[in-house]
Amino acid sequence: MMAFSPLLSFSFVLCSVLFCFTMQGAGARNLVPISSLITEDLFNSIFLHKDDNACPAKDFYTYESFIQATAFFPRFGNAGSLTTRKREIAAFLAQISHETTGGWATAPDGPYAWGLCFKEEVSPQSNYCDSTNKDWPCFPGKSYKGRGPIQLSWNYNYGPAGKALGFDGLKNPEIVANDSLIAFKTSLWFWMTEQKPKPSCHDVMVGKYVPTEADLAANRTAGYGLVTNIINGGLECGISNDGRVNDRIGYFQRYAKVFNVDTGPNLDCENQKPFS
């Protein structure tokens, strides 16, 4: 979580979720409120079916929780031009839509109107415990399956996410599927946080990604496809015409139109090697 000075923390508490500011160096920089770029009506039109009875996450993912969560990550949707800001928001919403989709090819309003339908992974194949990770040891009996908008998975993600956001991710991973605000915070934490050798999704979408020699050799070029590589490249990238990648792209193309921006280049990751 980002650190604030006492004075700034006081101001942050006083400001509404509609407008916040942060300090960089000696000067203050005004930030565009996310709510000015995505209103509640727009949010609900994007996620047309999230509160349908058919969706297990019915009434869980609220607009209020989303806006409140973005206030903890003031750089989200606030870097670069207005087009860049909108494109980043569209990309984020597209990725979480795929991760939580309840859509299918002939679904009402199309397959890309069913984001945020699930809040936790159904029938996980394991408890997602990497026992070799000694920094974030698994707690006995706990499952680190996918939960929340980004489907946070594995103990090595739950641990640092909890530390950054103020909850015990190893002992209480279930909170990500039980608290809407924490759920959105974890998805934004993952989006905004660099985890070397992976860059942050945020840096990729706002043009701050600088490829390493290894990235260049692996053809990891900037664009939406690289974000997919960061999120789930080990399973989806380096594969020709992968259906999961195509679904992510379909959501992004729909949302880019909603925000009236172009998607930018390199939408897929079929020619990229996954991060090791």
Q: Which domains does the chain have, with CATH numbers?
A: 32-118+194-276 (1.10.530.10), 121-179 (3.30.20.10)
Q: Where are the alpha helices (DSSP H) in the chain?
A: 6-14, 34-37, 40-46, 63-71, 82-99, 155-165, 180-192, 201-205, 213-217, 224-236, 243-258
CA distance 237 to 259: 27
Half-sphere exposure of 114 (CA within 13 A, CB side): 18
Please state whether beta strands 27-30 and 21-24 pair in parallel, antiparallel, or not at all (unpaired). antiparallel
When pLDDT is cut at 50, 70 and 90, the band that residue 30 belongs to is low
**Nearest-10 Cα torsion for 270, 273, 275, 276:** 140
Query: For residue 28, what is the enclosing H or E element?
Result: strand 27-30
Tens-digit pLDDT profile for residues 191-231:
999 999 999 999 999 999 999 999 999 999 999 999 999 99
How far, in Å, CA of 91 to CA of 136, rounded?
29
CA distance 199 to 52: 36
Q: Alpha carbon 153 to chain centroid distance?
A: 13
What sign results for the dihedral spanned by CA atoms 175, 176, 180, 185?
positive
The tens digit of pLDDT for each residue in 37-93 reads: 999 999 999 999 999 999 999 999 999 999 999 999 999 999 999 999 999 999 999
| Confidence bin at 11 (pLDDT 50/70/90) | very low
Distance CA 46, CA 36 (A): 15
Catalytic residue, chosen from 40, 64, 88, 99, is: 99
Helix axes 82-99, 224-236, angle to 10 degrees: 20
Is 99 a residue of the active site? yes
Q: Is the pLDDT of residue 267 over 50?
A: yes
Across the chain, what does the average pLDDT equal? Answer: 91
Provide the pLDDT for residue 28: 35
Here the tokens at position 30 are: 């005004």
Letter string b/e over residues 201-212, b meaning 16 or more CB atoms within 10 A of that residue's CB: bbbbbbeebeee
136-188 pLDDT, tens digit per residue, is 999 999 999 999 999 999 999 999 999 999 999 999 999 999 999 999 999 99
Largest CA distance in the chain: 54
